[in-house]
Protein backbone atom coordinates (compact mmCIF):
# COMPACT_ATOMS: atom_id res chain seq x y z
CA UNK A 1 0.00 0.00 0.00
CA UNK A 2 2.80 2.35 0.91
CA UNK A 3 4.48 1.58 -2.40
CA UNK A 4 1.28 2.42 -4.22
CA UNK A 5 1.03 5.74 -2.37
CA UNK A 6 4.67 6.57 -3.17
CA UNK A 7 4.17 5.63 -6.83
CA UNK A 8 1.05 7.72 -7.04
CA UNK A 9 2.84 10.68 -5.44
CA UNK A 10 5.76 10.35 -7.85
CA UNK A 11 3.34 10.17 -10.76
CA UNK A 12 1.57 13.30 -9.55
CA UNK A 13 4.91 15.14 -9.13
CA UNK A 14 5.94 14.18 -12.66
CA UNK A 15 2.60 15.38 -13.97
CA UNK A 16 2.99 18.68 -12.12
CA UNK A 17 6.51 19.09 -13.53
CA UNK A 18 5.28 18.49 -17.06
CA UNK A 19 2.39 20.88 -16.53
CA UNK A 20 4.77 23.47 -15.09
CA UNK A 21 7.21 23.14 -17.99
CA UNK A 22 4.37 23.26 -20.53
CA UNK A 23 3.53 26.80 -19.50
CA UNK A 24 7.11 28.10 -19.55
CA UNK A 25 8.57 29.86 -22.57
CA UNK A 26 11.68 28.00 -23.67
CA UNK A 27 15.08 29.65 -23.82
CA UNK A 28 15.95 30.84 -27.30
CA UNK A 29 19.51 30.04 -28.36
CA UNK A 30 21.69 29.80 -31.44
CA UNK A 31 24.49 27.38 -32.27
CA UNK A 32 27.92 28.93 -32.71
CA UNK A 33 30.71 27.74 -35.02
CA UNK A 34 32.24 25.62 -32.27
CA UNK A 35 29.10 23.54 -31.63
CA UNK A 36 28.23 25.66 -28.65
CA UNK A 37 25.00 27.38 -27.66
CA UNK A 38 24.54 31.13 -27.19
CA UNK A 39 21.45 31.92 -25.13
CA UNK A 40 19.33 34.87 -26.23
CA UNK A 41 19.21 37.12 -23.17
CA UNK A 42 15.82 38.46 -24.25
CA UNK A 43 14.29 35.01 -23.70
CA UNK A 44 15.52 34.64 -20.11
CA UNK A 45 12.66 34.78 -17.60
CA UNK A 46 12.83 37.35 -14.83
CA UNK A 47 11.39 35.00 -12.23
CA UNK A 48 14.02 32.72 -10.65
CA UNK A 49 11.80 29.62 -10.47
CA UNK A 50 10.74 29.99 -14.08
CA UNK A 51 14.35 30.49 -15.14
CA UNK A 52 15.34 27.28 -13.38
CA UNK A 53 12.71 25.39 -15.38
CA UNK A 54 13.99 27.03 -18.58
CA UNK A 55 17.50 25.79 -17.85
CA UNK A 56 16.29 22.25 -17.17
CA UNK A 57 14.38 22.22 -20.47
CA UNK A 58 17.30 23.67 -22.39
CA UNK A 59 19.85 21.28 -20.90
CA UNK A 60 17.96 18.28 -22.26
CA UNK A 61 17.86 19.89 -25.70
CA UNK A 62 21.56 20.85 -25.64
CA UNK A 63 22.58 17.32 -24.80
CA UNK A 64 20.37 15.88 -27.53
CA UNK A 65 21.85 18.36 -29.99
CA UNK A 66 25.38 17.45 -28.74
CA UNK A 67 26.19 21.04 -27.83
CA UNK A 68 29.51 21.52 -26.09
CA UNK A 69 29.81 24.93 -24.43
CA UNK A 70 26.93 27.23 -23.44
CA UNK A 71 27.14 31.02 -23.07
CA UNK A 72 24.73 32.92 -20.83
CA UNK A 73 24.74 36.73 -20.66
CA UNK A 74 22.74 38.17 -17.77
CA UNK A 75 22.09 41.93 -17.74
CA UNK A 76 22.05 43.89 -14.49
CA UNK A 77 18.25 43.65 -14.44
CA UNK A 78 18.62 39.85 -14.16
CA UNK A 79 21.53 39.76 -11.69
CA UNK A 80 19.33 37.95 -9.16
CA UNK A 81 19.43 34.91 -11.46
CA UNK A 82 23.18 34.41 -11.07
CA UNK A 83 22.68 32.10 -8.10
CA UNK A 84 20.24 29.91 -10.03
CA UNK A 85 22.61 29.71 -13.01
CA UNK A 86 25.66 28.79 -10.92
CA UNK A 87 24.15 26.65 -8.17
CA UNK A 88 21.40 24.91 -10.11
CA UNK A 89 22.45 25.28 -13.72
CA UNK A 90 26.14 24.41 -13.43
CA UNK A 91 27.39 27.68 -14.93
CA UNK A 92 30.69 29.36 -14.06
CA UNK A 93 31.69 33.02 -14.14
CA UNK A 94 33.56 34.08 -17.29
CA UNK A 95 33.75 37.88 -17.16
CA UNK A 96 31.76 40.95 -16.22
CA UNK A 97 31.42 44.41 -17.75
CA UNK A 98 29.27 47.40 -16.80
CA UNK A 99 25.71 46.27 -17.49
CA UNK A 100 26.13 42.50 -17.57
CA UNK A 101 27.85 39.35 -16.34
CA UNK A 102 28.83 36.54 -18.72
CA UNK A 103 28.66 32.93 -17.57
CA UNK A 104 29.42 29.69 -19.35
CA UNK A 105 29.08 25.95 -18.95
CA UNK A 106 31.01 23.08 -20.53
CA UNK A 107 28.67 20.14 -21.16
CA UNK A 108 30.84 17.12 -22.21
CA UNK A 109 31.82 15.15 -19.11
CA UNK A 110 34.46 13.07 -20.88
CA UNK A 111 36.38 15.96 -22.51
CA UNK A 112 38.52 18.76 -21.06
CA UNK A 113 36.92 22.20 -21.02
CA UNK A 114 37.96 23.97 -24.23
CA UNK A 115 35.99 27.19 -23.76
CA UNK A 116 38.23 30.29 -24.08
CA UNK A 117 39.12 32.11 -20.86
CA UNK A 118 38.30 35.73 -20.19
CA UNK A 119 40.60 38.53 -21.28
CA UNK A 120 44.07 38.00 -19.84
CA UNK A 121 45.69 41.37 -20.58
CA UNK A 122 45.13 45.08 -20.26
CA UNK A 123 46.82 47.32 -22.84
CA UNK A 124 48.64 50.49 -21.90
CA UNK A 125 50.57 53.14 -23.80
CA UNK A 126 53.34 55.60 -23.12
CA UNK A 127 53.55 58.55 -25.51
CA UNK A 128 56.87 59.99 -26.65
CA UNK A 129 56.26 63.54 -27.93
CA UNK A 130 59.19 65.73 -29.01
CA UNK A 131 58.83 69.39 -29.89
CA UNK A 132 60.79 71.17 -32.62
CA UNK A 133 63.64 71.81 -30.15
CA UNK A 134 64.01 68.10 -29.45
CA UNK A 135 62.55 68.44 -25.95
CA UNK A 136 60.43 65.66 -24.48
CA UNK A 137 56.92 66.10 -23.11
CA UNK A 138 56.70 64.77 -19.54
CA UNK A 139 54.12 64.73 -16.75
CA UNK A 140 54.10 64.23 -12.97
CA UNK A 141 51.33 62.09 -11.48
CA UNK A 142 48.96 63.32 -8.76
CA UNK A 143 47.77 59.76 -8.03
CA UNK A 144 49.17 56.26 -8.42
CA UNK A 145 52.43 54.55 -7.47
CA UNK A 146 54.61 57.56 -8.41
CA UNK A 147 52.60 60.06 -6.35
CA UNK A 148 54.81 62.31 -4.24
CA UNK A 149 58.07 60.97 -5.69
CA UNK A 150 58.78 63.97 -7.92
CA UNK A 151 59.25 61.70 -10.94
CA UNK A 152 58.73 63.11 -14.43
CA UNK A 153 57.50 60.52 -16.94
CA UNK A 154 55.98 60.39 -20.40
CA UNK A 155 52.15 60.54 -20.58
CA UNK A 156 50.67 57.08 -20.07
CA UNK A 157 47.23 55.48 -19.96
CA UNK A 158 45.09 52.49 -20.79
CA UNK A 159 43.55 51.79 -24.18
CA UNK A 160 39.74 51.78 -24.32
CA UNK A 161 37.74 48.86 -25.69
CA UNK A 162 37.79 48.99 -29.50
CA UNK A 163 40.38 51.77 -29.58
CA UNK A 164 43.54 51.65 -31.69
CA UNK A 165 46.84 51.91 -29.84
CA UNK A 166 47.70 54.88 -32.06
CA UNK A 167 44.42 56.69 -31.33
CA UNK A 168 44.70 56.00 -27.61
CA UNK A 169 48.15 57.58 -27.45
CA UNK A 170 46.93 60.74 -29.20
CA UNK A 171 43.90 60.90 -26.88
CA UNK A 172 45.94 60.47 -23.70
CA UNK A 173 48.38 63.25 -24.67
CA UNK A 174 45.60 65.71 -25.42
CA UNK A 175 43.63 64.81 -22.27
CA UNK A 176 46.60 64.99 -19.92
CA UNK A 177 48.56 67.92 -21.37
CA UNK A 178 46.26 69.81 -23.74
CA UNK A 179 48.66 69.30 -26.69
CA UNK A 180 46.57 68.78 -29.83
CA UNK A 181 47.59 68.17 -33.42
CA UNK A 182 49.59 65.01 -32.65
CA UNK A 183 49.74 62.14 -35.12
CA UNK A 184 50.97 58.59 -34.64
CA UNK A 185 54.51 57.99 -35.89
CA UNK A 186 55.70 54.58 -34.72
CA UNK A 187 56.01 52.04 -31.91
CA UNK A 188 59.37 52.25 -30.17
CA UNK A 189 59.09 49.33 -27.74
CA UNK A 190 56.68 46.77 -26.28
CA UNK A 191 56.80 45.48 -22.69
CA UNK A 192 54.82 42.57 -21.26
CA UNK A 193 54.43 42.12 -17.50
CA UNK A 194 52.26 40.04 -15.18
CA UNK A 195 50.46 40.34 -11.87
CA UNK A 196 48.74 43.68 -12.44
CA UNK A 197 45.20 44.73 -11.47
CA UNK A 198 43.05 41.72 -10.48
CA UNK A 199 45.85 39.38 -11.55
CA UNK A 200 45.78 40.45 -15.19
CA UNK A 201 48.86 40.77 -17.38
CA UNK A 202 49.84 44.04 -19.03
CA UNK A 203 51.00 44.91 -22.55
CA UNK A 204 52.65 48.32 -22.69
CA UNK A 205 53.38 50.06 -26.01
CA UNK A 206 55.89 52.91 -26.03
CA UNK A 207 54.60 55.02 -28.92
CA UNK A 208 56.17 58.00 -30.71
CA UNK A 209 53.87 60.81 -31.81
CA UNK A 210 54.61 63.76 -34.07
CA UNK A 211 53.29 67.14 -33.00
CA UNK A 212 52.32 69.62 -35.69
CA UNK A 213 53.21 72.89 -33.97
CA UNK A 214 51.43 74.93 -36.63
CA UNK A 215 48.17 73.46 -35.28
CA UNK A 216 49.02 74.09 -31.59
CA UNK A 217 48.67 77.07 -29.38
CA UNK A 218 52.17 78.21 -28.42
CA UNK A 219 53.43 79.61 -25.14
CA UNK A 220 55.53 82.77 -24.80
CA UNK A 221 58.71 80.80 -25.58
CA UNK A 222 57.29 79.35 -28.80
CA UNK A 223 56.73 75.84 -27.40
CA UNK A 224 53.37 74.02 -27.67
CA UNK A 225 51.24 75.37 -24.82
CA UNK A 226 50.70 72.90 -21.97
CA UNK A 227 47.48 72.66 -19.95
CA UNK A 228 47.83 69.90 -17.33
CA UNK A 229 44.82 67.77 -16.39
CA UNK A 230 44.83 68.74 -12.72
CA UNK A 231 42.51 65.91 -11.70
CA UNK A 232 45.30 63.49 -12.70
CA UNK A 233 48.55 65.48 -12.73
CA UNK A 234 50.69 67.71 -10.56
CA UNK A 235 52.02 69.30 -13.75
CA UNK A 236 53.58 68.83 -17.18
CA UNK A 237 56.59 70.36 -18.94
CA UNK A 238 59.11 70.07 -21.76
CA UNK A 239 62.55 68.80 -20.73
CA UNK A 240 65.78 67.62 -22.35
CA UNK A 241 65.86 63.89 -23.05
CA UNK A 242 69.08 63.46 -21.06
CA UNK A 243 67.46 65.10 -18.02
CA UNK A 244 64.52 62.74 -18.35
CA UNK A 245 66.77 59.68 -18.56
CA UNK A 246 68.75 60.77 -15.48
CA UNK A 247 65.55 61.22 -13.48
CA UNK A 248 64.29 57.80 -14.50
CA UNK A 249 67.59 56.17 -13.61
CA UNK A 250 67.48 57.69 -10.12
CA UNK A 251 63.81 56.86 -9.51
CA UNK A 252 64.04 53.24 -10.64
CA UNK A 253 67.54 52.30 -9.50
CA UNK A 254 66.19 49.57 -7.22
CA UNK A 255 63.31 48.22 -9.33
CA UNK A 256 62.55 47.65 -12.99
CA UNK A 257 65.96 49.09 -13.81
CA UNK A 258 66.59 47.03 -16.93
CA UNK A 259 63.12 47.72 -18.29
CA UNK A 260 63.49 51.50 -17.89
CA UNK A 261 67.01 51.43 -19.31
CA UNK A 262 65.65 49.77 -22.46
CA UNK A 263 62.75 52.20 -22.76
CA UNK A 264 64.99 55.21 -22.17
CA UNK A 265 67.46 53.95 -24.78
CA UNK A 266 64.64 53.67 -27.30
CA UNK A 267 63.59 57.27 -26.59
CA UNK A 268 67.14 58.64 -26.81
CA UNK A 269 68.07 56.84 -30.03
CA UNK A 270 64.74 57.82 -31.61
CA UNK A 271 65.34 61.46 -30.68
CA UNK A 272 68.79 61.26 -32.30
CA UNK A 273 67.38 59.67 -35.46
CA UNK A 274 69.27 56.41 -34.90
CA UNK A 275 66.32 54.11 -34.26
CA UNK A 276 63.29 53.57 -36.47
CA UNK A 277 61.08 51.32 -34.33
CA UNK A 278 57.98 49.79 -35.90
CA UNK A 279 55.82 51.73 -38.33
CA UNK A 280 52.30 51.22 -39.64
CA UNK A 281 52.46 49.04 -42.73
CA UNK A 282 48.71 48.85 -43.25
CA UNK A 283 45.56 50.13 -41.58
CA UNK A 284 42.31 49.05 -43.16
CA UNK A 285 38.86 47.66 -42.37
CA UNK A 286 38.15 43.96 -42.76
CA UNK A 287 36.08 43.62 -45.98
CA UNK A 288 32.47 42.92 -45.03
CA UNK A 289 31.93 41.15 -48.35
CA UNK A 290 34.69 38.64 -47.70
CA UNK A 291 33.59 35.05 -48.20
CA UNK A 292 35.34 34.12 -44.97
CA UNK A 293 33.12 36.41 -42.93
CA UNK A 294 29.97 34.77 -41.60
CA UNK A 295 26.70 36.58 -41.10
CA UNK A 296 26.80 36.07 -37.33
CA UNK A 297 30.40 37.26 -36.94
CA UNK A 298 30.93 40.30 -34.72
CA UNK A 299 32.28 43.38 -36.54
CA UNK A 300 36.05 43.27 -36.71
CA UNK A 301 38.78 45.59 -37.98
CA UNK A 302 42.42 45.02 -38.74
CA UNK A 303 43.72 47.58 -36.31
CA UNK A 304 47.45 47.84 -36.76
CA UNK A 305 50.02 45.91 -38.76
CA UNK A 306 53.52 46.90 -37.67
CA UNK A 307 56.77 46.33 -39.55
CA UNK A 308 60.33 47.47 -38.96
CA UNK A 309 61.09 50.94 -40.28
CA UNK A 310 62.76 51.04 -43.69
* pLDDT, mean of residues 244-272: 77
Does the structure show a pLDDT above 70 at 256? no
Buried b (16+ CB within 10 A) or exposed e, 142-154: beeebeeeebbbb
CA angle (127, 177, 153) in 5-degree steps = 50
Query: pLDDT of 113-158, one tens digit each?
Result: 999 998 888 899 999 999 999 999 999 999 887 788 888 999 999 9
Give the pLDDT confidence score for residue 22 in this predicted structure: 57
Give the integer Cα–Cα distance in Å for 274 and 169.
22
The residues with which 29 forms a beta bridge, in sequence order, are 39
- The active-site residue, picked from 56, 59, 175, 213, is 175
Does the structure show a pLDDT above 90 at 45? yes
More confident residue, 121 or 86: 86
Give the pLDDT confidence score for residue 161 in this predicted structure: 86
Task: Let me know: does 69 contact 31? Beta carbons within 8 Å.
Answer: no
Please state, in angstroms and as integers, the Cα–Cα distance from residue 120 to each residue in 117, 161, 200, 220, following that order: 8, 14, 6, 46
Long-range contacts of 88-92 (CB under 8 A, 24+ apart): 88/52, 88/55, 89/52, 89/55, 89/59
Task: Let me know: does 137 contact 129? Beta carbons within 8 Å.
Answer: yes
Give the pLDDT confidence score for residue 282 in this predicted structure: 52
Identify which of 91-95, 191-195, 231-235 has the greatest average pLDDT.
Answer: 91-95
**In the annotation, is 231 catalytic?**
no
Mean of the per-residue pLDDT values for the chain? 83
Does the structure show a pLDDT above 60 at 269? yes
Q: Which residues touch 154 (CB under 8 Å, ≥6 apart)?
A: 126, 127, 128, 129, 136, 137, 138, 139, 206, 267
More confident residue, 254 or 132: 132
Does the structure show a pLDDT above 70 at 2? no
Give the integer Cα–Cα distance in Å for 222 and 299.
44
Amino acid sequence: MLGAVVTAAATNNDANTVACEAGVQQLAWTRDRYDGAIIDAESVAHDASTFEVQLEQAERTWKLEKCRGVWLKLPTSHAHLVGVATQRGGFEFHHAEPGYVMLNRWLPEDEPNLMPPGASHQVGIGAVVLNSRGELLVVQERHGPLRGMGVWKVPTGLIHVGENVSDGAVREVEEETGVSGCTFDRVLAVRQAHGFLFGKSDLFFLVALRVNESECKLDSDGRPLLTPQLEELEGCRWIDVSEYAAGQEKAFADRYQRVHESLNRAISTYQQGEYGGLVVDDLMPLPSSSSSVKADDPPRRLQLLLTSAR
